[in-house]
Amino acid sequence: MRNSFSLFLLTLAAGPAWAAIATPPSCSATQLCPEEYPCCIGGTCGTGTYCLGGCEPLLSYSLNACTPKPVGHNQTYTWPNLNRTIANGKYLGNASAADWETSGTPKLSDGHVILTMPKDTGGSLLSSTQYIWYGKVGADIKSSRGAGVVTAFILMSDVKDEIDFEWVGSELGEVQTNFYFQGVTNYTNGGKTPIPDGNSYTTWHRYEIDWTPSAIHWSVDGTVVRTLLKASTWNATAKRYEYPQTPSRLQISLWPGGRAGAAQGTIDWAGGNVDWDSTDIREQGYYAAEFANITVQSYAPPEGSGSGNRSYVYVDREGLEGSVKITDKGIVLADLGRTGLNTGVDEGSESGAQGGEGGGKMVNKVY
């Protein structure tokens, strides 16, 4: 389902409003953000957290309005506590101090992270603070259940290249795979695969995305269930490969595809309206999806991609693999009133504050 995940999360604002203006400037392919509010996310312009993870450089005032994004490394995430997470609206770019940016109310149980969706809420989202430019990500996952309830495990870039696993709670016997190039809707890109024991909710399964410059492999329990070759995505008219090819962060989420007010097509895809009086809501107070043993393996970057090793930047508005360079530029903002144009932090420093108690404009972050 095109951007069933992404479009909903554009409305999921978890941070406080900071000096919000009555009518925020909008941004699109035909209208870039103004200099005062230079950073675009989800069609809205702002400063501060709008300029960090998810900031869309192609729609922002300038390519360097968004902060450079942290180069990721091999990681295995276990969950003894939530100390390495930081709430949306407080993160200022210091990826060495926080592994995940959070929206909603994640919980812990036996070393697993549980994403929750209480009654009439937007659910939960965790976004990695580091980005990879090709690599392999995996997790042991128990999806949620119920009509309208969607669990997701995806890679998402700042130009909306996207690689997905998604679970619709009314279809526990299968998992959906999908990919997008720069957010372009193409309903032929999706696929479905059966769950080995027929139930994604009751049994742990391992899901992996292996993303290389030439192919993407989706695997379930160690078996490749789908392969996409980059060569198959050539667009002869545009003369480009419409293939995910830009640095991406890992996102895990639980969200209400069948919420009131959603587009009917999204509700239908999600299996109908969410039952906010379901057994899960009545007995535990929320819908839940569990994630454990999340692994990230970062592959070598493309040749000629720069001489740095710290951060990714875009150098043109094509949004292709060749548009990205690896640099040693800083990634941290001094406070939520800053942007990539004026970080307030000395170049190369990672000492930016982790709190968000400073000024800022339009920092109710969206994804």
What is the structure's pLDDT at 11? 39
Residue 35 in this model has a pLDDT that exceeds 60: yes
The torsion of the CA quartet 197, 201, 204, 210, rounded to 10 degrees, works out to 90
Angle at 340 between CA 335 and CA 345, to 5 degrees: 50
Residue 342 in this model has a pLDDT that exceeds 60: yes
Task: Grade residue 22 by pLDDT with cuts at 50, 70 and 90.
Answer: low
Range of the domain at 251: 71-298
Same domain, 76 and 195: yes
Q: What would the pLDDT profile of 168-223 be if each residue is shown by its tens digit?
A: 999 999 999 999 999 998 889 999 999 998 899 999 999 999 999 999 999 999 99
**What CATH number does residue 191 fall under?**
2.60.120.200
What is the structure's pLDDT at 9? 53
User: Residue range 301-325: average pLDDT?
Assistant: 96
Residue 300 in this model has a pLDDT that exceeds 50: yes
Same domain, 286 and 339: no
What is the structure's pLDDT at 243? 99
Same domain, 136 and 41: no
User: Residue range 18-34: average pLDDT?
Assistant: 82
In a domain, 176, yes or no: yes
213 or 348: whose pLDDT is higher? Answer: 213
Sequence letter at residue 258:
G
In a domain, 349, yes or no: no
User: Residue range 284-293: average pLDDT?
Assistant: 98
Q: Which residues are catalytic?
A: 162, 166
357 or 243: whose pLDDT is higher? Answer: 243
Same domain, 208 and 253: yes
In a domain, 97, yes or no: yes
Could you identify the residue written with the tokens 């709670």? 169
Number of structural domains (the chain) is 2
Same domain, 175 and 277: yes
- The C-alpha atoms of residue 256 and residue 282 are separated, in whole angstroms, by 17
Q: Do 248 and 195 touch, CB atoms closer than 8 A?
A: no
What is the structure's pLDDT at 24? 87
Same domain, 157 and 209: yes
Same domain, 266 and 336: no
Same domain, 96 and 64: no
User: Residue range 274-278: average pLDDT?
Assistant: 98
In a domain, 121, yes or no: yes
| List of residues 6+ apart from 232 with CB closer than 8 A | none
What is the structure's pLDDT at 350? 56
Residue 5 in this model has a pLDDT that exceeds 70: no
Q: What would the pLDDT profile of 139-164 be if each residue is shown by its tens digit?
A: 999 999 999 999 999 999 999 999 99
Is the C-alpha dihedral spanning 73, 200, 115, 2 positive or negative?
A: positive
256: closest CA among 365, 152, 171? 152
In a domain, 367, yes or no: no
166 or 7: whose pLDDT is higher? Answer: 166
Same domain, 37 and 168: no
| List of residues 6+ apart from 291 with CB closer than 8 A | 112, 113, 114, 115, 139, 140, 141, 153, 252
Q: Do 136 and 74 touch, CB atoms closer than 8 A?
A: no
What is the structure's pLDDT at 23? 82
**Looking at residue 62, what DSSP letter applies?**
S
Q: What is the mean pLDDT of the chain?
A: 90
User: Residue range 107-111: average pLDDT?
Assistant: 93
In a domain, 322, yes or no: no
Largest CA distance in the chain: 56
258: closest CA among 99, 144, 111? 144
What is the structure's pLDDT at 349? 55
Lowest mean pLDDT among 30-34, 244-248, 305-309, 358-362: 358-362
Same domain, 226 and 267: yes
In a domain, 77, yes or no: yes
Same domain, 61 and 77: no
Helical (H) or strand (E) element with 246: none
Q: What would the pLDDT profile of 227-243 be if each residue is shown by its tens digit?
A: 999 999 999 999 999 99
In a domain, 305, yes or no: no
Same domain, 38 and 118: no
